[in-house]
Amino acid sequence: MLSQLNHWIEIAGVAADAMLLLRILQLKLHRTYFYITLACALGLIFDFAGVWFGIESRESIRIFLYSRFLYAVIYPAAAYDVWEEVATQVAKLRKFAMLRLAASLTLASIFGLFIASFAVSDDNGGDTLVATFAVILWAAVTTASLAFLWSMHRAVRAQKIVLPNNTAVWLLFYQLLLAGEVGACFLIIIGQQFNTFVTNRLDISLNLYGILIIAWCIWKLKALALDVPSAKEKASL
């Protein structure tokens, strides 16, 4: 029963991903937030593939694991993209914070590969190495990207920089999204200690959490001032 409910919630999650991407395109936010748009498009593709093949299928698991390596680039890029509307005001802060993020991810990748090498078995060494390294890298990327957003937020508040509506929305959205990703990663690591009933309930909670923050984001996003016809007319006068 819970497994079937989770399946329908996953379908609802795909629909929410599609609506968010359409909202971005409708408001023409992709012109400013390229990497965020790319992240939303990839999220839709991977979630759709997971539902299409079945979440517990071998194909879906492979897609999930290999997509973690892609997200190692996408999540930091999206976190960097959050600040595009105030890029000139936070240029130095963003550059310094991003350098720290890149350095921490480099060290985490080396450490993760070192740890993953000990998990290799004789029978299925390649798959075990990829799976272990993917989860470690995923945990490192989501945590580091979340820390990047928090540190940038503190610095921006300290300098009393007023954030535009969409910047504030994306900031909170990605903080909540990445926190959920950290929770999902933690669940994968310790999930074997729980029975199927508890695991299904946790999966349902995480999926509903994701749908809710996407719905909130869709509701809060607004068109940029430059994309409003009246604003263009005033600027040309």
Alpha-carbon distance of 168 to 84, in angstroms, equals 11
- Mean pLDDT computed over 20-36: 96
Q: Check residues 54 and 168 and name the one with the higher pLDDT.
A: 168
At 140-159, the pLDDT tens digits run 899 999 999 999 999 999 99
Task: Give the span between the Cα atoms of 152 and 93, in whole angstroms.
Answer: 7
Q: How far apart are CA 164 and CA 86, in angstroms?
A: 8
Q: Which helix (H) or strand (E) holds 29?
A: none
* SS3 assignment, position 118: coil
Residues 46-84 have pLDDT tens digits of 999 989 988 778 888 889 889 999 999 999 999 999 999
Tokens of 155: 């610095």
Domain spans of the chain, in order of start: 2-229
* Cα gap 100→93, rounded to integer Å: 11
The 10 Å Cβ neighbour count of residue 120 is: 15
CATH topology of domain 2-229: Rhopdopsin 7-helix transmembrane proteins (1.20.1070)
Q: Are 63 and 85 in contact (CB under 8 A)?
A: no
DSSP state of 123: S
pTM: 0.87
